[in-house]
Structure 1
Amino acid sequence: MTRSILKGAVAATVLLVGSATAVLLGAATAQAQDDRRVLRVVPHADLRTLDPVAVSVVITRMHGLMIYETLFAWDSELRAHPQMVRDVTTSADGLVWRFTLRDGLRFHDGQPVSTRDVIASLRRWMARDVVGSHLGARVASLDAVDDKTFEMKLTRPHGFVTQALGSAVGQIPAIMREADAASDPSRPITTTIGSGPFRFNRDQWMSGQRVVYDRNAEYVPRAEPPDGLAGGRVVKLDRVEWRIMPDAATAAAALQTGEIDIWEQPALDLLPVVARRRDVQVERLNSLGNQGMLRPNSLHPPFNDPRARLALAYATDQAEVMAGGWGDEQWWRRCRAYFICGTPLGTEAGTEGYASPNLERARSLLQESGYRGERIVFVTSTDIAPIGRMAEVVAANLRQIGMNIDLQVNDWGTVVSRQPRKDPPDQGGWNLFVTYASGATMQHPLTNIGTNMSCDGRNWSGWPCDEEAERLRTAFLDAAEGPARDAALEALHRRLAEVQPYRVLGQVDQPYARRANVQGVLNAPVMVFWNIEKN
């Protein structure tokens, strides 16, 4: 009964807000023709960090793909294709790679893209990103042959060079101007001069309200048809505006009245309301969905001990967490695979023991780790509603095993800026956070940001260190396709299940909603805005 009343109240709110929005739209009727060249989108979060090499948050990656390009790009099946590159050759031993840039590449300030820009950008990316650092560990040198051709020499072969250089996950290998890329890789840049199909309109940017991108009229797209992030990035609009609307009911009303054209991540409980309209379409962006995850900080007690991290797996109930965050089970599924259930690498080997919660086992592991009731700083946000709701359920689960949880709720920008801090939790750091990452990111040991357990301190926030897991990850990446790689995958996954770099919370299909007159949204790891047009 309570659930029915709540749904009714939400629907009523949507209709009321919608009526108010319709009045505002009347004033804009004269601009209707121009509106067909402007796409208005409600994204899942506000843009706070402008540097796609500094952080791995999705909203910054979306921003990065608007204004920057990469040497290669992934298609809808996550295969790498040349993007900024015209030609690539490889020596017979796989140690020397030569790349030549395609014609027509210019930064937004008019400068031509040169190999000096590329080399500086790749070095910065290799110092920051999981995929980049793995490739960078095998790079002996990066040398410019001339302004358009450069060579990469490896110390040993790497089976995923072009895949890495086209990475659409984590911190993307965005090609920046040399002056920007040569800056301290640990400090986010604030310039926004790329060579991509859109220009960032800084004058129109209003934090917390609006982010604006204008078509780059000087951009020369590839000739191939678009496929995922690959192929021709043909912009069919003059402007894309991100409208920041943290309130889901407001966003739903705006979509119904046509004030916005796309709602990138609609609240699932409001989907029945918006989907009833014939002028609104609800679709999945891609087939891999997202993976929910509970990330512990492995630098500080208690989670510097793998037994405390394993306790998280025994204490948390995936069904409770996913239902709390995402509602109806039609949108989510239980899954304990680090590399995404339903994919070729989606094994759950080693996780059988905590298929269901075992609170006694969790308490025992926690005690063995030396935990004695110290405050656990759990940072989260309600700006992205599913994250905040999942965090509340996880916090309740952990309190059941005796953890002293301090759930600190901030805006998402604050949470993101806090995640890279390695300070102790009582000095501005943290112990836990909940998030989710795209299936495209998590489906492979090369790209999965959470399973990098290298001990150099350059892996993703949480910084787990396990030399055996890294040895097994390298063995998988070096293994020939077939039984050897299958065996290496199982060994790696069993080790991850034991040392728990993060707790897999399950998988979710996040749909998007669009007005029916919007066409051309591409099946890609994140939403991109070339190829889209309004009829």
Structure 2
Amino acid sequence: MDRRSFLLGAAGAAALPLAAPASAQGATRLLKFIPQADVAVVDPIVTTAYVSRHHGYLIYDTLYGVDNEFKPQPQMAEGHAVEDGGRRVTITLRQGLKFHDGEPVRARDAVASVKRWAARDAMGQAIMAVLDDLVVEDDRKFSFRLKKPFALLIDALAKPASPVCFIMREQIANSDPNTPIRDNIGSGPFRFAASERVPGSLLVYEKFTDYVPRSNGTPEFTSGPKVVNFDRVEWHVIPDASTAAAALQSGEMDWWEQPTADLLPRLSRMRNVVVEQYDRTGLMALVRFNHLHPPFNNPAIRRALLGAVNQADYMTAVIGTDKSMWREGVGFFPPGTPFASEVGLDVLTSPRDYDKVKRDLAAAGYKGEKVTLIAASDFPSLNALAQVCNDMLQKSGMNVDYVSTDWGSVVNRRANRNPPDQGGWNVFLTFFTGLDFFSPAGHLGLRGNGANAWFGWPTMPKLEELRQAWFDAPDLAAQQKIAAEIQEEAFREVPYLPAGQYFQPWSYRNNLTGVLKGLPMFWNVSKG
């Protein structure tokens, strides 16, 4: 793996599936997909929820994509030119790009979209810090004019880590980046059929017939020609795992994104079903604190809980006892990647002692304050993580208010900065792909930039200083040294608790071909 590759992260039984509308029933060009959860937020910029990102890839396009080696490749861009010693980068759009309403994609749409994305994204914010101006040159060209070269500019525009730099209409992209948009007009290979949406149950996407795929390259990950072989893609939200498995087995559904660990052996024995791992970077589980309100505005209380974390408990709950499917002893960067480090890991790997944790919490000033933990009951892997966390906090002597709700409510509530008794929260559980956490560049969980940070909003100046030093480091060895310092500081400040790494397979009917690995993408796929 070369240097550019690893810098990209730099991110009761349910009802049976709804029948397709009459116009789609019996169609041979219909794909039925079971997503990990409902799309609570259709704006993929204001949230890091992966289901919103996957929704975004259907209806929006990107300036650049990444291939199977995580290298950036032109997508909407025809190419780019670098001038003035790296301080001017001019991108030219491909000809023939259209939005779903028939309007051409222009450079001003790209400029507005980059600005909206950069306000929410860790790497985007780093670009803005060195940007003098972002200039529309003509309808197809725009330029980044930089104070100093930014070597990761194209990588940032290409990265599939959330949030992704999706290109939107200028009028839409000019909206407040902190307020979710409602109008999903993109230029991607599918249109969103919003009128057919049934919240908590169904989302529908229709082929955009005016989409022009790239004429060259090979479909890999998010790059290459996006050739659509379906007139219609339906997402059926099925929270009950047994119902989902039965629908896949019967052929009612074609593809299930996140089968649960207990059903993997059954699925693997099904003659007409394929089970495969799709993301070699794995998933990094974490316990996220709200740093704005007691008790976790106190770093000593956050540190005390490091001694309570048993990563094996979290991992077996979410993916089972097969240790080839998960890792413990995991810090803030994915094991086996260039910035992974042993620094500070003893705090997670030493013997667990809840009596000591209770003493440490008391010494840190914990006085029995209520801890509101918001848990996604309809998202099996997150529900499993939350139950382990609830048990861990209670064994540590904390007063837990366990709020079990749907994932959409968690997504909305975690954006609430009010105190827990006013609709806010103290703790939630989630995961990121290892790609998101590969390096300090796009690692949202390690940002300490206060109000502009990811949900939890920590203010940690030292982490921010180290991150900037990492960007300025002259070579890989220097970057690795700084990454180790970042991990050491993270174990001192504890922006979140690392809960381990696991590898999630998906399953699909064996009459599907052309399924690309990386994340659920609906181009290149065919059904025999």
Q: Which amino acid aligns with 2:525?
A: I
Q: Does residue 415 of the first structure (1) align with residue 407 of the second (2)?
A: no
1:366 to partner: Cα distance: 2.1
1:67–1:193 CA contact under 8 A, matched in 2: yes
**2:313 aligned partner:** 320
Q: What code does the residue aligned with 1:116 have?
A: R
In the alignment, structure 1 residue 274 sits paired with structure 2 residue 267: yes
1:462-477 aligned within 5 A: 462-477=456-471
Residue 298 (1) aligns with residue 284 (2) = no
**What's the counterpart of residue 46 of structure 1?**
38
* Structure 1 equivalent of residue 3 of structure 2: none
Could you say which residue in structure 2 is the equivalent of 1:91?
A: 83
Are 1:376 and 1:406, in contact at CA under 8 Å, matched by a contact in 2?
A: yes
Question: What are the equivalent positions in structure 2 for 1:106-117 lying under 5 Å apart?
Answer: 106-117=98-109
Match of 1:162 in 2: 154
1:4 alignment counterpart: none
For 2:4, the equivalent position in structure 1 comes to none
Q: Which residue of 1 aligns with 2:5?
A: none
Per-residue Cα deviation, 1:275-302 (whole angstroms, up to 9, x for no partner): 2122111001121111110000111122
Gaps of 5+ in 2: 1-11
Deviations 1:196-243 (A, max 9, x none): 011111222111221111111101111211111011111111111111
Using the size of structure 2 for normalisation, the TM-score is 0.93
Q: Pick from 472, 476, 487 the counterpart of residue 493 of structure 1.
A: 487
Q: Which moved more, 1:348-357 or 1:113-122?
A: 348-357
- 2:192 counterpart letter in structure 1: F
Q: Where do 1:331-410 residues align within 5 Å?
A: 331-356=325-350, 357-410=352-405
> Which letter does structure 1 place at the counterpart of 2:238?
M
Q: Distance in 2 between matches of 1:66 and 1:133?
A: 25
Paired residue secondary structure (1:383): coil
Contact persistence 1:376–1:404 (CA under 8 A): yes
Segment of structure 1 superposing worse, 391-400 or 39-48: 391-400
CA displacement at 1:331 relative to structure 2: 2.1
* Displacement of 1:441: 1.1
Pairs within 5 Å for 1:140-289: 140-222=132-214, 223-289=216-282
Q: Following the alignment from structure 2 to structure 1, what is the Cα–Cα distance between the partners of residues 353 and 475?
A: 37
Q: Could you tell me which residue of structure 2 aligns to residue 444 of structure 1? A: 439
CA deviation vs aligned residue, 1:104-130 (integer Å, no higher than 9, x gap): 111000011111111111111111122
Distance 2:363 2:114 in 1: 43
Instruction: Confirm or deny: 8 A CA contact 1:158 1:478 kept in the other structure.
Output: no
Unaligned stretches of 5+ residues in structure 1: 1-12
Contact 1:130 1:170 in 2 (8 A): no
- Compute the displacement of 1:408 (Å): 0.4
Aligned residues: 512
What CA deviation, in whole Å up to 9, does each residue of 1:252-295 have, x standing for no partner?
A: 00111100110111111111112212211100112111111000
1:119-173 deviation line (CA, Å, top 9, x unaligned): 1111111111222212222211111111111111122222210111112112111
- Secondary structure at the counterpart of residue 384 of structure 2: helix
> Are the equivalent residues in 2 in contact too, given 1:74–1:229 (CA < 8 A)?
yes
User: Distance in 1 between the 2:387 and 2:98 partners?
Assistant: 47
Runs in 1 of length 4+ with deviation above 4 angstroms?
A: none
Contact 1:211 1:241 in 2 (8 A): yes
The Cα offsets for residues 354-387 of structure 1, whole Å up to 9 and x where unpaired, read as 3132434433442243221010011111111121
Instruction: Report Cα offsets for 1:382-428 as digits up to 9, x if no partner.
Output: 11112112211111111122211111011110000011111111111
Decide whether the 8 Å contact of 1:159 with 1:478 is kept in 2: no
Q: Distance in 2 between matches of 1:31 and 1:375?
A: 51
Give, in whole Å, the separation in 2 of the partners of 1:312 and 1:135. 35
The answer on whether the counterparts of 1:314 and 1:358 sit within 8 Å (CA) in structure 2 is yes
Q: Could you tell me the TM-score, scaled by structure 1's length?
A: 0.92
Partner of 1:6: none
Give the residue type in structure 2 aligned to 1:443: F
Larger mean CA deviation between 263-272 and 318-327 belongs to 318-327
SS in 2 for 1:440: coil
CA separation of 1:515/1:491 partners in 2, compared to 1, >3 Å: closer, same or farther?
same
Amino acid at match of 2:463: A
SS in 1 for 2:521: coil
1:390 is paired with a residue of what secondary structure?
A: helix
Mapping of residues 59-138 of structure 1, within 5 Å: 59-138=51-130
Distance 2:83 2:346 in 1: 45
2:370 partner amino acid: R
- The amino acid that maps onto 1:231 is G
Q: CA deviation at 1:102?
A: 1.0
